[in-house]
Amino acid sequence: MINHLGRYLLSFIAILLVQVLVLNNLNLGGYINPWLYVLFILILPVEMPNWLLLVLAFATGLIMDTFLNTIGLHASATVFLAFLRPFLLRFFAPRDGYEPGSLPVTSHFGLGWFLKYTLLAVLAHHLFLFIVEAFSFENFLATLWKTILSSLVTLVVIMIAQLFSSRERRRI
């Protein structure tokens, strides 16, 4: 993992730049918010220690909160996602388990596996994020609708990002 620290740092910076400079400035009716930054937590190595995963998730969320002026909203949702990630990886684990050094990306486990893993993770993150944002169950259907729409758009953006990253790996 230390050998690939530069690659993770570059992907972190690239993901945050796209999120902050492009996706945060899209106005899609108020119900659709693509949150690409969750991809950074989802594609970290499978064998990453849980404490480090939680720290990286908190830092990622805190950076997003700084740019969006949301005071802990994204930090809490991203930590929740990092907490769920080991359970999701165990749930979708191959029969023989994960090989050392494997990454939860399409090029390692295939498109179907990645779609299922990402869909559940993104839905959980978005549901937590939007419930905490509303801080009420009064308009739960509106919150649920916002979660579903934003999750679908986020999933499309993540798949496009995976397409670009798999092209780069093939060239190397």
The ranges assigned to domains in the chain are 2-171
Task: Tell me what the mean pLDDT of segment 59-72 comes to.
Answer: 93
Bridge-partner residues for 32, per DSSP? 28
pLDDT of residue 17 exceeding 70, the answer is: yes
What is the pLDDT at residue 167? 52
C-alpha triplet 157, 159, 16: angle, nearest 5°? 50
Nearest to 131 by CA among 169, 58, 77: 77
Quick one: pLDDT band at residue 12, thresholds 50, 70, 90?
confident
Reported pTM = 0.88
What pLDDT band is residue 172 in, cutting at 50, 70 and 90? very low
Q: What is the pLDDT of residue 60?
A: 94
SS3 45: coil
| Residue 29: φ, ψ to 5° | 85, 5
CB 79 within 8 A of CB 58: yes
Structure tokens at 16: 């945050």
User: Cβ-count burial of 50 within 10 angstroms (0-12 exposed, 13-18 middle, 19+ buried)?
Assistant: exposed
Whole-Å CA distances, 112 to 20, 21, 37, 165:
29, 30, 21, 17
The pLDDT confidence band at residue 7, using thresholds 50, 70 and 90, is confident
Helix (H, G, I), strand (E, B) or coil at 170: helix
Comparing CA positions, the residue from 50, 49, 45 lying closest to residue 5 is 45
CA dist., res. 37 & res. 43, Å (int): 11
Architecture of domain 2-171: Orthogonal Bundle (1.10)
Assess contact for 85 and 41: CB atoms under 8 A.
yes
Does the structure show a pLDDT above 50 at 171? no
Distances (CA, A) of 86 to 81, 91, 135: 9, 9, 27
Task: Report the pLDDT averaged over residues 89-107.
Answer: 83
Maximum CA pair distance of the chain? 52
Indicate whether 168 pLDDT > 70. Answer: no
